[in-house]
């Protein structure tokens, strides 16, 4: 029986990052992956392919605005198959990249269905054949899968998840997106830019409901301006295929029943953890609706069994969260000094147009926690680089503790939001105060310097607003 220091089940951004680090630390490591390729949801049907499509949509949008930038461009045509082909090339390049990094770190890949078979034992099943391997540590990194609503059947052609919508043969004329979380608003943005008539149905009172309330309001305003219809407090009652596509029946917030016809429907109502038939239920690990409970070092209640990524209860379903959780767990196994995973230090990035980047407490969370706070806001309208880019919509909002000025939360909606949030990540990770940030020199002209204005705005000292 093969024997390893660490066996990881799942090769997404949680599993593959943990595996490479384990190899760097000299742990004999194997990754079990059910698919014939490594990289998981993020690389194949999540973060990377969606961002490729979004980037192409942005280029198309720039062509549409050519006259504003002083160009005469006629007859811009979208070559959808060429866009999909480029997406495929990018995904393949990075899949090969992970394979290379595995070889470099001496990580073995085993193809098959992985299952915790008992303390220090993992089984792998492939083509009806089962083998067992021995391991000191086991890490579950099996990720998540798209959910649907009761009675709504995903057929993959008309009623879609994030997987099938990435392979559509043509851009649909109309699309209903059920769910206004990160996945829903990203696809809504992409297809609206390519000319699709988009309607979003959201059960809660606002889009991106995990974000600060003002960010949600700004996004809904921007979406409406772009011609995206958003119905909040909408209860979807049925989604049925028909000759022309599908019909979605929903109750509006006033209790009226409405029916919408669309060529395609995207179900973006959340993701369920892939922990069924992984054997975790036979261990001492605590489960809640399929999610695994861990401590902040990713240890489950079963000795030497760790869980990371989208399957962990109460932590964000984000690629970089999964990766950091994996690094913490492997550090602990290798006897290194590690810091616990802190949700408040993990940024959120939503790649709709306008983009959203945020970290830490929302204004409401801080007020509900009884903290005395001060708010600073800076609109991108006052930032010269944003004007040069032709994207000066949105703002930065800073939530700071009143007495010492500790930064508690930063919420950005607007150009390069997912990039410039990096400064707030450093600030919050290092527990910086407004004084620290006011003394920081920001290069000019950058979109990033709007951060300096936003931090100064808390004390009414923003220069450009
Ligand atoms: C459309 C979309 C866009 C997204 N965009 C972003 C983004 O921009 N930024 C961001 O941070 N996050 C994004 N996410 C979320 C991100 O993809 C996930 O948080 C991340 O992939 C989770 O990583 P993971 O390692 O936990 O699981 P996964 O990436 O889901 O990987 C799990 C792996 O485990 C394998 N597996 C499952 N069960 C078994 C088994 N029993 N045996 C063997 N192998 C198994 C699976 O095949 C898969 O390869 C997006 C998600 C979606 C759906």
Which DSSP state fits 341? P
Is it the case that residue 146 has pLDDT exceeding 80? Answer: yes
Pocket lining for ligand 1, CB < 6 angstroms: 9-15, 32-35, 40-42, 46-47, 50, 113-114, 141-144, 162, 183, 274, 278, 309-310, 317-320, 322, 349, 351
**Residue of 11, 42, 146, 187 with the most ligand 1 atoms within 8 Å of its CB, for mutation:** 42
Q: Which residues are catalytic?
A: 444
Q: Rounded CA gap, 223 and 418, in Å? A: 18
pTM of the model: 0.97
- Given this model, what pLDDT does residue 304 score? 98
Mean pLDDT calculated for residue range 134-152: 97
State mean pLDDT over 319-323: 98
Bridge partners of residue 138, in order along the sequence: 7, 305
What's the CA gap between 50 and 182, in Å, rounded?
A: 11
Nearest to 356 by CA among 213, 195, 234, 461: 213
pLDDT band at 164 (very low <50, low <70, confident <90, very high): very high
Are the beta carbons of 312 and 343 closer than 8 angstroms? Answer: no
Q: Say which residue, 159 or 2, is predicted with more confidence.
A: 159
With left for phi above 0 and alpha for psi between -120 and 50, is residue 254 left, alpha or beta? alpha
Q: How many A from CA of 41 to the centre of ligand 1?
A: 3
Place of tokens 């100064």: 456
Tell me which long-range contacts 217-220 makes (C-beta under 8 A, separation of at least 24): 218/354, 218/394, 218/395, 218/413, 219/185, 219/352, 219/354, 219/356, 219/413
What's residue 2's pLDDT? 85
Distance, CA of 92 to CA of 26 (rounded, Å): 28
End-to-end CA distance of the chain: 67
Share of the chain above pLDDT 90, in %: 99
| 1 band by pLDDT with thresholds 50, 70 and 90 | confident
Tell me what the mean pLDDT of segment 20-36 comes to: 98
Q: What is the pLDDT of residue 132?
A: 97
Q: Can you tell me the mean pLDDT for 291-300?
A: 98
Query: Once rounded to an integer, what is the mean pLDDT over residues 216-221?
Result: 98
Atom of ligand 1 nearest to the CA of 278: 41
**173-187 residues labelled b (16+ CB within 10 A) or e (exposed):** ebbbbbbbbbbbbbb
């Amino acid at each position: 029986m093969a024997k390893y220091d660490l066996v990881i089940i799942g090769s997404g951004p949680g599993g593959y990052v943990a595996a490479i680090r384990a190899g760097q630390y000299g742990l004999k490591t194997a990754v079990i992956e059910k698919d014939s390729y490594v990289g998981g949801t993020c690389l194949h049907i999540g973060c990377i392919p969606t961002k490729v499509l979004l980037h192409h949509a942005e280029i198309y949008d720039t062509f549409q605005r050519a006259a504003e930038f002083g160009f005469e461009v006629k007859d811009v045509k979208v070559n959808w198959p060429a866009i999909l082909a480029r997406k495929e090339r990018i995904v393949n390049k990075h899949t090969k990249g992970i394979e290379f990094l595995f070889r470099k770190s001496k990580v073995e890949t085993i193809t098959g269905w992985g299952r915790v078979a008992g303390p220090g034992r993992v089984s792998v099943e492939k083509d009806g054949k089962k083998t067992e391997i021995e391991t000191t540590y086991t890490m579950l990194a099996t990720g998540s899968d798209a959910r649907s609503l009761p009675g709504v059947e995903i057929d993959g052609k008309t009623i879609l998840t994030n997987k099938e919508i990435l392979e559509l043969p043509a851009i649909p004329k109309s699309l209903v997106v059920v769910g206004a979380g990160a996945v829903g608003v990203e696809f809504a943005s992409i297809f609206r830019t390519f000319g699709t008539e988009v309607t979003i149905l959201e059960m809660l009172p606002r889009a991106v409901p995990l974000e600060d309330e003002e960010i949600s309001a700004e996004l809904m305003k921007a979406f409406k301006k772009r011609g995206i219809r958003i119905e909040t407090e909408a209860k979807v009652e049925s989604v049925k295929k028909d000759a022309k596509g599908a019909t979605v029946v929903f109750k509006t917030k006033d209790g009226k029943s409405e029916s919408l016809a669309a060529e395609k429907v995207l179900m973006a109502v959340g993701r369920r953890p892939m922990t069924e038939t992984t054997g975790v239920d036979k261990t001492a690990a605590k489960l809640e609706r399929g999610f695994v409970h861990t401590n902040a070092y990713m240890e489950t209640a079963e000795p030497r069994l760790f869980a990371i990524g989208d399957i962990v209860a109460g932590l964000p379903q984000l690629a970089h969260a999964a990766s950091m959780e994996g690094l913490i767990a492997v550090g602990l196994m290798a006897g290194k000094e590690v810091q616990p995973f802190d949700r408040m230090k993990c940024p959120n990035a939503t790649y709709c147009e306008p983009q959203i980047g945020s970290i830490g407490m929302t204004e409401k969370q801080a007020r509900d926690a009884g903290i005395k706070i001060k708010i600073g806001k800076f609109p991108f309208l006052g930032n010269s680089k944003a004007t040069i880019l032709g994207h000066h919509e949105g703002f930065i909002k800073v939530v700071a503790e009143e007495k010492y000025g500790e930064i508690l939360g930063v919420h950005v909606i607007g150009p390069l939001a997912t990039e410039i949030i990096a400064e707030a990540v450093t600030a919050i990770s290092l527990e910086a105060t407004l004084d620290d940030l006011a003394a920081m020199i920001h290069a000019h002209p950058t979109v990033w310097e709007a951060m300096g204005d936003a931090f100064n705005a808390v004390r009414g000292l923003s220069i450009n607003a």
